[in-house]
Amino acid sequence: MTNPEAGLRMWQGNHACAEGAIAAGCRFFAGYPITPSTEIAEILARRLPLVGGKFIQMEDEIAAMGAIIGASLGGTKSMTATSGPGFSLKQENIGFAVMAEVPCVVVNVQRGGPSTGLPTQPSQADIMQSRWGTHGDHPIIAIAPASVRETYDMTIKAFNLAEKYRNPVILLLDEVIGHLTEKIVLPDPAKIEIFDRKKPDVSPEEYLPYELNDTDIPAMANFGEGYRYHVTGLAHDDTGFPTNDPEKIRLQLERLNRKIERYREEIIEVENLETRDAEVLVISFGSTARSAKRAVLNARENGVAAGLLRLKTIWPFPEKEIQEACQLVKKIVVAEMNLGQVAHEVEWATRRDKPVIRVNKINGEAIKPNEIYAAIIS
């Protein structure tokens, strides 16, 4: 008989992230200790060797990002975790992974900034950096959990998205979620959906690592399995070798960006709470969405038709979902621990058709339910 408590755990968010990575098939982690993400590395240093994986502490965040790119090219699902200045240091190699279409997961447990900022305090101010931190027109996927169980689930999802779309995926935690401890029940391992990259079905001589095909996502061969191809951050043709041919460059870069936008309906995920008849819509994400949920429920109890749209996917930005949720509302409240990074995108998505009230904090304190409630009823 199955033990009903077999999946019961009391975990911290960072612990759930580490265990979710292992459940997703991650077998390589490279990182450098930095608050408030260090527990992820600490746990994986113990756990990965027990499942046949490898852990390595690199000399810095730049090297850590390079190491997971290399491991992924060799066919191993790979992850790194960081925060604050460490995320900044990773940007150049994140751009390389985008251009070379190397699947990997980058966890950013957000803390106060800029620079060294507030190492032990929460923030949600890396929204724009996660989208535009590396240079050039490029696609990115960034997702944000709001609980410990969701951190476990969305770490698995991050790996699935990375493998499916051959792209780096950023898991945007924040210090509150990373260090929050909650009782959770893990899913049955047999029911967890795991996606592995599509491998080529042609010989090494016929293989084109950046083939222009009808899916926009080329098959990916692993080094060490008989396939050899050129990997570069330079503009390249379908063979992977650099090119200065304007037409080939255009076709490849358009495909690179199109492959994410084309599948946005499969990628984007939001949660609706009491939005069907809402006159005031609260939009939030991560730990702040927990306060937003309480504020919306309090408003409902007091006769105010409020609703919550929680963004589980940050990039690509869920503008269509926001537009649908905003059709009947009279105003929008956006709560986030920054100076309005998501609010700016909400204003853009709604064409400023509805007033957008911002609830922001940047002093290292979490946003409280009563602060959001005050904006709802104002």
Tens digits of residue pLDDT in 236-258:
999 999 999 999 999 999 999 99
pLDDT-based confidence at residue 3 (cuts at 50, 70, 90): low
Q: Tell me the C-alpha distance between 169 and 248, whole Å.
A: 26
Running DSSP on this structure, what letter comes out for residue 257?
H
Other Cβ atoms within 10 Å of 374 Cβ, number: 14
Give strand pairing partners of 160.
Answer: none
Q: Rounded to the nearest 10 degrees, what angle do helices 369-377 and 288-301 cross at?
A: 50
Q: Give me the DSSP letters along 10-30.
A: EEEHHHHHHHHHHHHT--EEE
Q: What is the pLDDT of residues 165-215, one digit of tens each?
A: 999 999 999 999 999 999 999 999 999 999 999 999 999 999 999 999 999
As a whole number of angstroms, the longest Cα–Cα distance in the chain is 69
Region 336-356: what's the mean pLDDT?
97
Q: Tell me the C-alpha distance between 209 and 231, whole Å.
A: 9
Q: Answer whether residue 5 shows pLDDT above 90.
A: no
Residue spans in the chain of domains classed CATH 3.40.50.920: 270-377
Residue 229 burial (10 A CB sphere; 0-12, 13-18, 19+): middle
Q: Answer whether residue 2 shows pLDDT above 80.
A: no
Please indicate, yes or no, whether the overall pTM of this predicted structure exceeds 0.85.
Answer: yes
Q: Give me the DSSP letters along 136-162.
A: SS---EEE---SHHHHHHHHHHHHHHH
CATH fold group of domain 270-377: Rossmann fold (3.40.50)
Tell me the CATH number of domain 8-191, given options 3.90.550.10, 3.40.50.150, 3.40.50.970, 3.20.20.150: 3.40.50.970
Q: Tell me the C-alpha distance between 216 and 257, whole Å.
A: 9
Matching residue, tokens 């991650």: 26
User: Which helix H or strand E contains 39, and what residues bound it?
Assistant: helix 38-47
Rg (CA), the chain: 21
User: Which helix H or strand E contains 377, and what residues bound it?
Assistant: helix 369-377
Q: Answer whether residue 125 shows pLDDT above 80.
A: yes
Q: Answer whether residue 6 shows pLDDT above 80.
A: no
Residue spans in the chain of domains classed CATH 3.40.50.970: 8-191
pLDDT-based confidence at residue 1 (cuts at 50, 70, 90): very low
